[in-house]
Homo-oligomer: A and B are copies of this chain.
């Protein structure tokens, strides 16, 4: 990013010159109505800062990986699974997702959910749950009701 100052536009989640990207390749994993923007990615920075926007009723992929996620909700409301617990989240809440911890974000049915996510620039690829992992997760009724696959 060579720009020194990037103006945020009135429309939520849009920055001048920051491309709105696909979350992932269609069909590579389950997800619904979510976009990705790379806010900071620089050879002098050991992490990247990304922004994800989940439309109302949308969700991110249920996954885990070795790398840690450091998340701040930027706007909207939703819920997230971290490990075996479901949390309600709102503006400026922080969510720490430790290594190898199942996680998923969902927007409320009446509001989008936008969040920042800091990750190491060098990181492993996400793992999807096996049928056995899903059975284990679904032993908790709250988790079973939450996860979308």
Q: How large is the interface on A (under 10, 10 to 19, 20 to 34, 35 or more residues)?
A: 35 or more
Bound Cα distance A92, B68 (Å): 24
- A20 interface residue (CB < 8 Å to B): no
Q: How many copies are assembled? A: 2
Decide if B68 touches A7 in the complex (CB within 8 Å).
no
Q: Mark A43-79, 1 if CB is under 8 A from B, else 0.
A: 0111101000000000000000001101011100000
Decide if B4 touches A87 in the complex (CB within 8 Å).
yes
Decide if A47 touches B46 in the complex (CB within 8 Å).
yes
Name A's B-contacting residues (CB within 8 A): 1-8, 15, 18, 39-40, 42, 44-47, 49, 67-68, 70, 72-74, 80, 82-83, 85, 87, 89-99, 116, 118, 120-122
